[in-house]
Amino acid sequence: MSEEINPFKIAQHQIDIVAEKLKLKKGIYEFIRWPHRELEVHFPVKMDNGDIKSFKGFRVQHNNARGPCKGGIRYHPDVTLDEVRALATWMTWKCAVVDIPFGGAKGGVICNPKEMSKTELERLTRRFALEISIIIGPEKDIPAPDVYTDAQTMAWFMDTYSMIKGYSVPGVITGKPLSIGGSQGRREATARGVMYTVREALKHLDYKVIPPEVWKKKCSEGELNDAICDGEEDSGYRIDDATVAIQGFGNVGSIAANLLTRKGAKVIAVSDSKIGIINKDGLDIPKVLTHKSRTGSLNGFEGASEEIGTKDVLEVECDVLIPAALENQITEDNVDRIKTRIVAEAANGPTTPAADRILHEKNVFLIPDILANAGGVTVSYFEWVQDLQQFFWSESDINMKLREIMVKAFGEVRDMSQKHQVNMRTGAYMLAVQRVADAIMIRGIFP
């Protein structure tokens, strides 16, 4: 492939673009191009067969000018330091764009969790938690789940840190089970944030939407089915028949599909790591979820009219395309075949800079990752606040607060992009980088 797809170089390139537009001071610009702190650890883990295996892990803290660092931990055989650096950098901008008081961090361990038992994963997690405990804490750096880590992983992590401290410290981690200080709505938060921003984009582009007072009246008069009306706490607009394709049917992609369907969208294509399925009349998402849960794959789903490749889903003609898998999925090689009006980046860094420029030239409205998928870190912030004050909110309160933050952030990014006549990604970065630069300058340089 001809274009550069090193994720950290991409992250730095994005800073370069906005630094010039914002006319940042040279010292501030050079400082935010690099992570503030990096920790690389090598540690042994006893495997179930008694062997000792060595693993490598990373924790990178990009910036803490606006508050403690925040970011997930991923377990994957392809984790690299540059990947973790990039993700930590993007977390800084993500927190700033939705205006929550965190900086960015990220962690990762090079391993293949699919080839490890639960007890091996527990021992790996506890040892990694011990290794990075010197730089994390509820007032310093708060990890969370990411690729191939989950609430159970976070429970082991929190317990290990608490054992080190000698008392329970639920605020050291987010994405925990509810029984040990987790938050209502956390599992759905990233996908829910995607749904809110997609809905705002459809409104912005004058797609047909149903105002809340209209659809509530239709619910009361029995014109909309129970799956749509039951449990609707959201007073926002409903989407009317916008078509959606989603690459990645994991936690974020599957929940986004379900939420968008409940809001009236028609999900016509989805893919997991093995296969994609399509039905232009609309997939029955609850049935797709049941099939995936039962078989572990989308393969063989009877409601599909066709099975396609995982990347082919990106090229399905639709109103909204949601890449919800890994980085660098929309590239210079396939961008000309993208046929959508809106790209909502549920994944981190799914679009390369070269593809970004081409999408803009094609008049595709892009909701950048640091905005589209910021629902997860926003509710992680809510979880951290609840842990610190030991007072917990209802799920409806969580969703209401999340909606307010996501809608406000979308509006601010849209306004910034229109004011400076740039695309939404550049508008989001200008907003976020300016907030971080302002924090650095107002705090001053020590000593």
What amino acid positions are annotated as catalytic residues? Answer: 106
- Cβ-Cβ contacts under 8 Å for 140 (sequence gap 6 or more): 64, 68, 69
The answer to whether 181 and 383 are in contact (CB under 8 A) is yes
SS (H, E, C) 371-420: HHCCHHHHHHHHHHHHHHHCCCCCHHHHHHHHHHHHHHHHHHHHHHHHHH
Give Dmax (Cα) for the chain: 67
CB-CB contact of 75 with 118 (8 Å): no
Q: Distance between CA atoms of 69 and 79, rounded to whole angstroms?
A: 20
Radius of gyration of the chain (CA): 21
- Alpha-carbon distance of 260 to 264, in angstroms, equals 6
Asked if residues 267 and 285 have their Cβ atoms less than 8 Å apart, the reply is yes
Contacts of residue 180, defined as CB under 8 A and 6 or more positions apart, other chains included, come to 155, 158, 170
Burial class (CB within 10 angstroms; exposed 0-12, middle 13-18, buried 19+) of 239: buried
Interatomic CA distance for residues 6 and 421, integer angstroms: 28
For residues 89 and 15, what is the distance between their CA atoms, to the nearest angstrom? 10
User: Which phi-psi region, left, alpha or beta, contains residue 337 (left: φ > 0; alpha: ψ -120 to 50)?
Assistant: alpha
- CB contact at 8 A, 355 and 332: yes
Look up residue 160 and give its two tokens.
Answer: 């290990």
Please name the residue that has the structure tokens 């066709």: 306
Report how far residue 87's alpha carbon sits from residue 105's, in angstroms, rounded to the nearest whole number: 7
User: Is-contact 186 175, C-beta < 8 A?
Assistant: yes
Distance between CA atoms of residues 387 and 392, nearest Å: 8
